[in-house]
């Protein structure tokens, strides 16, 4: 197979001349291809076949030990003018970027196959979809792209028929050395080059690189939004479905919220949840003046640890077939487990580093040795999820009633509050912060500012990004309302105050009621909060005092927060919209009043 698309053929030839693979293979997306790739990887040991009776179609992968999360410090936006990348991005000139990466790519595919993957983000042929072609020397990446995107022959046919443009995504493992790893974005060339990593967002280039970094860049130019958001529908007992889009930083609960199971107390009311997406939303204003969202992905790349039949029964059902498991514990019976997974804890197994593991083992510092890496993941087709929406293939997507921001804040942020209006909501998003998780390399637990959960994913200057959000708000006649949630507030003993997971529906119920103007709220200095009895706590035993702790607004903590916001905003200099500073000052005034 090759292609009639001249530019594509030329680009593939160029990449092959640089990387010097043994062979070039065009991926058609067929089952035959999947079987062949799996067989090859079983033979080389790159993948391990799991018990096909218990886990049909499932395979196991262990990455290199230094390649287990996105490496933000090695991720760059390469624009001609450095200011366009902004203080939120690492920057290289396009010339330096290409040169540095080419030095690593050169001859790196010797002895390897170069796979060509035509893929579509969004339904194939939808006017809102984007086509990319990823080149990779990793069969594991091909198998992941099969799940995460629509890929193969149909996409290539479309590209040839329309002679259309495509994002050039060149990926290679090279020697998987962190010192020879670069994830580079060239928005002005519609190009992504990633070398030296085989993991997740570093290597599945349709995901964070195309859908968010290039997507956000395009969104600003074309008048739409590319966001790190889940999308879900909440169907009430009358059959009305309210759709929400929610931005939480990596490993802060998007996958879990997107498919939550209503808790007993609320189930009686007859709620149903529809999952549209768990990580990325592309949102446009339609002719009705509302914001409509599509999920450009076709699968989920979800966090394994903490996932079990109690916290997320939908995903547990989904990952029983056709799933790729990465960096979890491999059990003797060729099934898998992870910390916080379903009991029983296995007595032994092989850990994510490939070492013999026994439960209860501790290291030289007395810390438990983990069977699964904290950022271990499953890759699963979204159609496997029992709560999947029937609107996934619809090119208009779903109308968004509410946008929700949130993060991990052991202190400060109350369970939920509502912004006073769009502009204030943009400020609430712009001032988000969260404790760092294992999804990116760095110090876990440290609070860092992560506006709209997009700090690592905004492909241009974030000052301009906030301005773009403000403009989008002005263009809508029925803009979504904006809220902030915090499932992760803790008490003095370090225990979560809120049960989370399915119980989060109690908060979503209030949010939807607000959107339908069915319930009043209490105005506070930071936003509108629920009146005392407006969150349905049926079936929970939470005291009044407990709820007060969840909603407490400590002025001293907020004063301190203002200092953090001030310092952060200043890094954007005069690209920071004056409206954001206005919101800052009015919050300051309200807090001192
Ligand atoms: P990315 O895929 O990295 O973008 O993450 P995500 O935002 O989809 O996070 P995910 O839903 O996978 O959750 C990450 C971790 O947070 C898991 O260990 C979950 O078990 C845990 N978690 C999710 N929701 C809640 C919640 O409501 N309360 C608590 N305490 N933990 C939660
Ligand atoms: C995230 O880190 O936000 C993820 C996982 O969704 S990754 O694909 O690695 O970006
Ligand atoms: Mn994510």
Cα 204 to middle of ligand 2, angstroms: 10
Structure tokens at 324: 């790729």
SS (H, E, C) 542-557: CCHHHHHHHHCCCHHH
- Which CATH code for domain 6-45+73-222? 3.40.449.10
Report the atom number in ligand 2 closest to the C-alpha of 279: 6
User: What is the reported pTM?
Assistant: 0.97
With the most atoms of ligand 2 within 8 angstroms of its CB, the residue from 254, 279, 376 to mutate is: 279
Cα 130 to middle of ligand 1, angstroms: 28
Active-site residue 252, yes or no?
Answer: yes
With the most atoms of ligand 1 within 8 angstroms of its CB, the residue from 212, 247, 251, 316 to mutate is: 251
Cα 112 to middle of ligand 3, angstroms: 30
Q: Which CATH class is domain 300-382?
A: mainly beta
Give the gyration radius of the chain's Cα atoms.
Answer: 23
Cα 288 to middle of ligand 2, angstroms: 33
Alpha-helical regions (H) of 86-195: 94-105, 139-148, 153-162
- Rounded to the nearest 10 degrees, the angle between the axes of helix 6-19 and helix 94-105 is 60
**22 CB-near residues (< 8 Å, 6+ apart):** 109, 110, 111, 112, 113
Map out the domains of the chain as residue ranges: 6-45+73-222, 227-298+390-592, 300-382
Q: Which CATH class is domain 227-298+390-592?
A: alpha beta
DSSP string computed for 166-190: -EEEEEE-TT--GGG-EEEEEGGGT
Q: Which residue ranges have their beta carbon within 6 Å of ligand 1? A: 248, 250-256, 278-279, 302-303, 305-307, 311, 439, 487-488, 496, 500-501, 504
CA distance 494 to 490: 5
Report the atom number in ligand 2 closest to the C-alpha of 250: 3
Query: pLDDT tens digits for the chain (593 residues)?
Result: 589 999 999 999 999 999 999 999 999 999 999 999 999 999 999 999 999 999 999 999 999 999 999 999 999 999 999 999 999 999 999 999 999 999 999 999 999 999 999 999 999 999 999 999 999 999 999 999 999 999 999 999 999 999 999 999 999 999 999 999 999 999 999 999 999 999 999 999 999 999 999 999 999 999 999 999 999 999 998 899 999 999 999 999 999 999 999 998 888 889 999 999 999 999 999 999 999 999 999 999 999 999 999 999 999 999 999 999 999 999 999 999 999 999 999 999 999 999 999 999 999 999 999 999 999 999 999 999 999 999 999 999 999 999 999 999 999 999 999 999 999 999 999 999 998 877 777 777 778 999 999 999 999 999 999 999 999 999 999 999 999 999 999 998 999 999 999 999 999 999 999 999 999 999 999 999 999 999 999 999 999 999 999 999 999 999 999 999 999 999 999 999 999 999 999 999 999 98
φ, ψ of residue 10 in degrees (nearest 5): -65, -45
């Amino acid at each position: 197979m090759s292609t009639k698309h001249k530019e594509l053929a030329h680009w593939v030839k160029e990449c092959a001349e640089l990387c010097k693979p043994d062979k070039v293979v065009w991926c058609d997306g067929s089952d035959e291809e999947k079987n062949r790739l799996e067989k090859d990887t079983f033979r080389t040991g790159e993948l391990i076949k799991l018990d096909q009776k218990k886990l049909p179609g499932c395979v196991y992968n262990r990455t290199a030990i230094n390649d287990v999360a996105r490496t933000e410090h090695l991720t760059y936006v390469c624009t001609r003018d450095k200011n366009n990348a902004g203080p939120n991005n690492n920057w290289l000139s396009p010339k330096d970027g290409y040169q540095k990466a080419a030095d690593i790519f050169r001859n790196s595919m010797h002895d390897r196959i170069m796979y060509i993957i035509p893929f579509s983000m969004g339904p194939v042929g939808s006017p809102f979809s984007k086509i990319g072609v990823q080149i990779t020397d990793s069969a594991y990446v091909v198998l992941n792209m099969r799940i995460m995107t629509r890929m193969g022959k149909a996409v290539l046919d479309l590209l040839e028929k329309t002679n259309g443009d495509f994002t050039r995504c060149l990926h290679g493992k090279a020697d998987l050395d962190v010192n020879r790893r670069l994830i580079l974005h060239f928005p002005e060339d519609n190009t992504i080059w990633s070398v030296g990593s085989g993991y997740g967002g570093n290597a599945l280039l349709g995901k964070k690189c195309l859908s968010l970094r290039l997507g956000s860049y395009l969104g600003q130019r074309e008048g739409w939004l590319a966001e790190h958001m889940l999308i879900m529908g909440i169907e009430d007992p009358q059959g009305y479905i309210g759709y929400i889009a929610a931005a939480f930083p990596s490993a802060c609960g998007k996958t879990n919220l997107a498919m939550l199971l209503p808790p007993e107390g609320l189930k009686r009311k007859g709620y149903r949840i529809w999952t549209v997406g768990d990580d990325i939303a592309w949102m446009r204003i339609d002719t009705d003046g509302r914001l409509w969202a599509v999920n450009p992905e076709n699968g989920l790349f979800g966090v394994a640890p903490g996932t079990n039949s109690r916290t997320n029964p939908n995903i547990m059902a989904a990952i029983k077939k056709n799933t790729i498991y990465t960096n979890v514990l491999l059990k003797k019976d060729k099934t898998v487990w992870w910390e916080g997974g379903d009991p029983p804890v296995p007595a032994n197994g092989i850990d994510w580093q490939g070492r013999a593991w026994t439960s209860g083992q501790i290291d030289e510092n007395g810390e438990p040795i983990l069977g699964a890496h904290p950022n271990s993941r499953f890759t699963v087709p979204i159609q496997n999820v029992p709560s999947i929406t029937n609107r996934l293939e619809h090119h208009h997507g779903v109308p968004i009633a509410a946008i929700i921001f949130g993060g991990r804040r052991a202190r400060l942020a109350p369970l939920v509050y509502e912004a006073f209006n769009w502009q204030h909501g943009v400020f609430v998003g712009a001032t988000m912060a969260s404790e760092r998780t294992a999804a990116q390399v760095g110090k876990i637990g440290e609070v860092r500012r992560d506006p709209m959960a997009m700090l690592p994913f905004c492909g241009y200057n974030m000052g301009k990004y906030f301005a773009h959000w403000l403009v989008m708000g002005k263009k809508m006649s029925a803009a979504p309302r904006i809220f902030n949630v915090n499932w992760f507030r803790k008490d003095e003993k370090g225990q979560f105050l809120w049960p989370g997971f399915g119980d989060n529906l109690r908060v979503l119920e209030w949010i939807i009621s607000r959107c339908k103007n069915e319930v009043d709220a209490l105005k506070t200095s930071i936003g509108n909060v629920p009146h005392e009895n407006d969150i349905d706590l049926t079936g929970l035993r939470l005291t009044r005092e407990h709820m007060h702790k969840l909603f407490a607004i400590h002025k001293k903590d907020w004063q301190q927060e203002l200092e953090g916001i001030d310092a952060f905003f200043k890094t954007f200099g005069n690209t920071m919209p004056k409206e954001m500073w206005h919101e800052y000052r009015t919050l300051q005034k309200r807090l001192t009043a």
